[in-house]
Amino acid sequence: MKYCPTCGEPNPDNARFCVKCGREIPSETTPSPAYTPPQHSPNPNMPETYLWQSIVVTILCCLPLGIPAIVYAAQVEKYYLQGNIDAANRASRNAKNFCIASLVSGLAIAIIYVIYLATVGSLLGLFAVA
């Protein structure tokens, strides 16, 4: 079986002319690319969901910024399974950004807290001495 390069009609291997459109068929015709079934390109890998990172920063650092990170992280897989790779990539980026924001603000709060404790501690120390 070979395929007419003009119309895609299957023809016997020994056919010189297409049975459908009558055009000449080159002897070593391979199936014309236009009529081969479209190759299903394998899905690109699912973007990073940042799900566990979101949960960790929510628990350890900053709840208000961690929650949206978890929401976006959950969307990554949902969009990916729907085949909406662009949306999955966007959700992945958003999840990452909220993780970073949460981590940074968590660290800032921790540093302020440590400074606060150190200040209070040294004040108490002064009073203790006095």
By the rule CB under 5 A, 16 interacts with Zn ion: no
Rounded to an integer, what distance in angstroms lies between the CA atom of residue 54 and that of residue 74?
10
Count residues near Zn ion (CB under 5 A): 7
Distances (CA, A) of 47 to 22, 36, 40, 76, 91: 50, 31, 19, 7, 9
Q: Does 15 bind Zn ion (CB under 5 A)?
A: no
29 binds Zn ion (CB under 5 A): no
User: Does residue number 34 form part of the binding site for Zn ion (CB under 5 A)?
Assistant: no
Contact segment (CB under 5 A) with Zn ion among 19-27, 38-46, 55-63, 89-97 equals 19-27
Min dist. Cβ of residue 13 to Zn ion (A)? 15
Q: What residues line the site for Zn ion (CB under 5 A)?
A: 4, 6-7, 9, 18, 20-21
